[in-house]
Structure 1
């Protein structure tokens, strides 16, 4: 009976220690799982809030762009009119302020949740540490009780064994005492092993708990990183779509520029053909281009215009005209200079001839009056009259010829001014088209080099 009691007590204590240890482990595992679930749920909620906020922040520019691109009628319907004044800008400002307020509130809620999660984590860690300390104290207390129990049991067993040894033989008492000492040594060794195993399990439990916390943190960071990658992917996709739209627009512009370039080339070829036809007609009709010569005064005025930036005025002063060869000879006989200068000289000569004719008429009248007063010979008077009439006829003929020349020159100048205006407009159009073609060619060359 003593032997049975000695063997039964260590087994019972050992079972109690293991059972208490497993209870502690079970509670710790349950608390750890609960903590993990709470952390994961809070992380998921925080990530959901962040993703919704970012999605709202991405969607808002589109909504604002759509609102700005709406027609005037739709915008006017949505605007509030107060005293006949539209409030479109105030609506946009109100929307901006509302979205900013929503974003600020979301950030504040997210920060509060993070702070609450951190505080909860600290509280749970403190609670777990407290539970671990209590478990360690309970284990140490149980171990102390267990280590103190075998001495008393050994003493009672030794008393019982001494009583029984008095009844039994000496050999049996010796064997029983030897067996009890061996059992006590084995139990002490097993308790030490259990305690070392308990320490190892506790260390493993702490390491596992720390590892689980680290894994939870890493999981939350990974989820947050995944959300960031998703947002970045969406942004890159939007940028890619925008670049594709820009590329299509550039391609359309390039095709339009190519068509414009071909059209301008055709216009240039038509203008060159018109200039060649003009030169051919001039040669066939035997016309001569006059004008364009610069006199000293014209040169000085051109220099002044060049200094002042008046290149067009300088060009307008040197007009050219198409005249026949006879008219060209007549203009050459007048002298050198521009067409306007020559016409002015012809007009001055005509005025001089008219003045001379008037003077001759006056002289003739005076001579007639003198002849009438003096009563000279009729034959002399007739000669004088004949000579005067002859001179008068010559002057009239010259005057008529000069008037005809002047009228012809004026008509020619008017006709040539119209031709010059047409040719000048055609030349300016051709120069403008040529400049545009050069600019378009440079742009196309730069785009081709860039591609």
Structure 2
């Protein structure tokens, strides 16, 4: 079991913890300092792993060297033993049964050594018992060393296969993370495009509503003008008035005054009425000479009534014209003020939209940077955990 001190992360093992601040600059500087600490720790851990691998290779070379020395020593002992047996055979003097019995265990041991299963000698010669027992002991040690070496090679191959599979999985993870980030960016782009399309649709809808409102107001104005025209026609029909054409040389001071103070349509109407009245006055004057006095008096009274009515209408139209001019001036000022407000609001709206686009871009960049930093932190944490396990294994081996 590992102690709590061993399980602590190297990233969080700083002696002095800095308190969290509400300022963004402090957070960024703190995150940068943590990242630099993590990178320095990862570099130190990489150096430690490199040193461990070098020590393991040196140990493997020493074991191989010892195995080769043991094999050469074993071969020398076998050659020396065979020479001793040959000397004893020469002293015994000939090829009796004892020779066959002494040579048989040597051949059997040589054959057993070739097959990889050494056996102890069972010959009748007593002088060969001690070398054979030491030889069997060395064979057992050699077999155990070979078995351990084979197990070590097998574990090493498995470890290499695990590293290769881990590297493949890490590459697949990196590719999938890149695909996920690409899809997130595409989703954010589509959301931004959708938002812009919604805004343009809302603007077009507001323009359509404004055009409909303008159309309705124009229809109302047209209806009012039609009503005024009908009223004018009825008035002229009841009073027996008509609208003759006016020549420019017949203009008088009254007409000029009317042109100065009345708009175009009312001016034309007044000029027509004035010309009509002038024509009637001329007719009255001519009829006064031709007709009898009774008729002339009647025509004079009618002419006076018509003149009074026309002057009254002219004064009313002048008053209406003055009121309409004042109202028009007021409305023009209001329209100019509203136009200025619309332009100002439009510029503010464009600035807000630009600022919103910039904020969205900054948000995307910050989210991408946060994902990258999070992936870096995850990798560092995984490396940290791996190094902790390796250090724990090394401590256990040192204790053993």
> TM-score scaled by structure 2?
0.44
Larger RCO, structures 1/2 (Cα 8 Å, 6+ apart): 2
After TM superposition, the score normalised by the length of structure 1 is: 0.40
